[in-house]
């Protein structure tokens, strides 16, 4: 078990080093930035599969020299690299030559324009029906949760009552036993006190 943990920790350290190295290369090489960003994203995807749920951000801050936003961009480039490879070059502003697609252009392609388009395609009727049913679904879920809580409360009360009844029966048996043994008044008082507690 410890060796598995040690192996995973070493792998995570190695993946962080590799992602950081690709980050440096991505910043240094504009022409190859997209390929380095893809590689960094692949290392981050692999690391994220190892890191326990809820610990990704802490690991990223502790091990990587770049921001969460940059990490998300690298992961997005890695996941959608095939879409970008078809757009390998982009024309320069003056139109005199083509150059390799840079990281910023690739991210713009992946995320699309910041302003929404003026024309949106019509929403299919089945999607509209599902959206309209959401409030009703939410109220049914809330009602179901409330019913479940009420049932759990009833079960707890029933279990408590059964336990108390079981204790009462045992105390009654003890009372009979005490009387048969001829124990003194102090023992009988203690037994009565216990019985009062259970009632």
Q: Per-residue pLDDT tens for 88-145?
A: 554 444 444 444 566 677 776 666 655 444 445 666 777 667 766 666 766 776 777 7
Distance, CA of 191 to chain centre: 54
> And the tokens for 192?
């009565």
Residue that is written with structure tokens 């009988």 in the block: 188
Residues 165 and 105 in one domain: no
DSSP 8-state secondary structure symbol assigned to residue 122: P
Same domain, 22 and 96: yes
Check if the beta carbon of residue 168 is closer than 8 Å to that of residue 198.
yes
User: 161 with 74, same domain?
Assistant: no
> Has residue 119 been placed in a domain?
no
Q: What tokens does 3 get?
A: 């060796």
Taken as a whole, the chain contains a residue count of 199
Domain boundary among 76, 111, 146: 111
Q: Supply the range of the domain harboring residue 26.
A: 2-111
85 inside domain: yes
Instruction: Please tell me the distance from the alpha carbon of residue 41 to that of residue 2, in angstroms, as a whole number.
Output: 28
68 with 136, same domain: the answer is: no
User: pLDDT at position 190, please?
Assistant: 73
Q: How far apart are CA 66 and CA 91, in angstroms?
A: 29
151 in the same domain as 53 = no
Whole-model pTM: value is: 0.43
Evaluate whether residue 181 is within a structural domain: yes
Total domains in the chain come to: 2
For residue 174, count CB atoms less than 10 angstroms from its CB and return exposed for 0-12, middle for 13-18, buried for 19 or more: middle
Intervals of the chain under pLDDT 70: 1-2, 27-31, 85-103, 108-123, 127-128, 131-135, 137-138, 141, 177-183, 187-188, 191, 194-195, 197-199
Question: How many CB atoms lie under 10 A from the CB of residue 161?
Answer: 10
Give, as one character, the DSSP assignment of residue 120. Answer: -
Asked if residue 117 is part of any domain, the answer here is no
Residue 66 resides in a domain:
yes
Adjacent-strand bridge partners of 149: none
pLDDT at position 43: 95
E-state strands within the chain: 89-91, 98-100
């Amino acid at each position: 078990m410890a060796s598995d943990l040690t192996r995973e920790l070493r792998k995570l350290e190695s993946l962080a080093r590799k992602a950081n190295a690709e980050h440096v290369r991505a910043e240094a090489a504009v022409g190859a930035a997209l390929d380095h960003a893809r590689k960094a994203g692949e290392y981050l995807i692999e690391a994220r599969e190892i890191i326990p749920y809820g610990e990704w951000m802490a690991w990223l801050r502790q091990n990587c020299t770049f921001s969460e936003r940059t990490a998300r961009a690298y992961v997005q480039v890695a996941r959608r690299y095939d879409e970008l490879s078809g757009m390998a070059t982009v024309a320069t502003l003056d139109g005199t030559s083509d150059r390799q697609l840079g990281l910023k252009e690739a991210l713009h392609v992946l995320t699309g324009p910041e302003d929404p388009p003026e024309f949106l395609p019509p929403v299919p009727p089945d999607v509209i029906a599902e959206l309209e049913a959401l409030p009703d679904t939410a109220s049914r879920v809330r009602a179901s949760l409330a019913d479940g809580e009420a049932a759990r409360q009833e079960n707890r009360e029933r279990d408590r009552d059964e336990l108390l009844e079981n204790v009462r029966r045992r105390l009654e048996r003890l009372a009979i036993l005490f009387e048969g043994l001829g124990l003194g008044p102090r023992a009988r008082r203690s037994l009565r006190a216990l019985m009062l507690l259970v009632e």
